[in-house]
Amino acid sequence: MEEQKPLDFNIPSLVEGLIPKPQAPPKVPSMLETVGMVESTLKAHFEIKDWEGIRIILAISAAHYIPGEPLWVRIVGGSRSGRTELLRALIKDEDSTEMEALTPASIRGGLRGGAKVLDRVNEKRVITKDLVPLITTRKDIRLEIFGLLRSVKDGSLSSDFGTAEGHIQQEGTFDWILAVTPLIESIRQVESLLGERFIDLQWIAGNREEMAYRAAQNNPHLKSIREELSASVCSLLSRAKKVAKDKMPTLNEDEIRLIAKWADSTTLCRSPVDKDRFGHIQSMPKPESPTSMAQDFQRIALGLKLIGIEEWQPYLQRLAWDCIPSVRATILRSLIASHTEKEIQSITGLSQTTINYHLNDLRLLKIIRKEGDKAVLQVKLP
């Protein structure tokens, strides 16, 4: 009979096998990876072309956690062009609120303790999905509202009601992201009263047929799609809030100097020239001061860094050009390419009358000078 060998028990190995090994903590995605999750959700359900615009909107939303003067941004684009769904998602964040319709009374507030819009929106990220209700109201009311909003942007509003005790002083600030159609550029009163209070983002719409196809495809599932998008957007903003609290991003001296240069040239290029309806000059133009835009650009640059985009300069360059009225920006780009006035007409399809109209404004603002049949830029643009 063959002799049996004793079993070899490796006690340490057996014990080691019974003790569960410590699990490595789950990898926390970077801020940029979290942005990618939002983009993946959008890509799965919507026809989006302007991914740079998406990141700018997310950075502006995150900039709510950066201290500074109120940041007001208009997203200019056609109705139903894709931006509204992202704004819907932003409304769901705990630091956001919605504001769609305004009246002079709601801004001023009632004399005897009535509800006040400024109390509700103070220190919030305010979202307006459509400015049309404001634009289409009666002209006198519209001008009164926009006049009041100028004071609101500056942080305080005084209201007098014609009696000895009838004075209300309100203070409060809020960041504001609103969607508008390109019609905004044709309404001079809005631009002259509020234009310099805003940073503009010119939204680039996707393929029209594909947008229509996606809209029809999504229609039965919109509730769940919107919940999914809101969850990813709110997750990003929650992380941005925490990161800003733990370690606020900063800009160095050279970056701040660059922002100042871009704000200076952009405000000059978007400054209006006061004319009557016949095109006659009413007064010599006084260019807009660049200080407010520099503050806005600074917060947006920090917002970009907050969501993980360190190379923020191309995004800010985009915004600088988007802030310039579209026809004027088109002509300026042609001048940078050294095109003559006739070449500008051929390339852009604009009438010579329109081109001359805007070139005269640019001359009055000392942005260009005439050299033979060419207009030469005198300002370095972003």
- In tens, the pLDDT along 80-125 reads 777 889 999 999 999 999 987 777 777 766 545 555 677 788 899 9
Q: Is the pLDDT score of 280 beyond 70?
A: yes
Q: Which residue has the higher pLDDT, 305 or 21?
A: 305
- Tokens coding 274: 């006061």
Which pLDDT does position 341 carry in this prediction? 81
Going along the chain from its start, the domains and CATH numbers come out as 31-248 (3.40.50.300), 327-377 (1.10.10)
Q: What percent of the chain is predicted at pLDDT more than 90?
A: 49
Give the CA diameter of the chain. 122
How is residue 356 written in tokens?
A: 């001359």
Q: Which amino acid is at 4?
A: Q
Angle at 199 between CA 193 and CA 201, to 5 degrees: 120
**pLDDT at position 59:** 98
pLDDT at 28: 73
Average pLDDT over residues 34-42: 95
**Tens digit of pLDDT for each residue in 363-375?**
999 999 888 777 8
Choose from 15-19, 23-27, 180-184, 210-214 the range with maximum mean pLDDT: 210-214
In this predicted structure, the answer to whether residue 145 has a pLDDT above a threshold of 90 is no
pLDDT value at 14 more than 70: no
Token representation of residue 204: 């680039």
Residue 149 sits at φ, ψ, to 5 deg, of -65, -25
State the pTM of this model.
Answer: 0.86
Q: What angle do CA 348, 350, 351 make, to 5 degrees?
A: 145
- C-alpha triplet 333, 339, 340: angle, nearest 5°: 125
pLDDT above 70 (res 18): no
How far apart, in whole angstroms, are the C-alpha atoms of residue 8 and residue 70? 75
pLDDT score of 111: 47
**Count of CB atoms situated within 10 Å of the CB of 126:** 21
Q: With cut-offs at 50, 70 and 90, classify the pLDDT of residue 185.
A: low
d(CA 335, CA 348): 12
Residue 26's pLDDT band, with cuts at 50, 70 and 90, is low
pLDDT band with cut points at 50, 70 and 90 for residue 245: very high
Distance CA 156, CA 160 (A): 14
* CA-to-CA separations, 69 to 65, 109, 162, 259, in angstroms, rounded: 12, 23, 32, 16
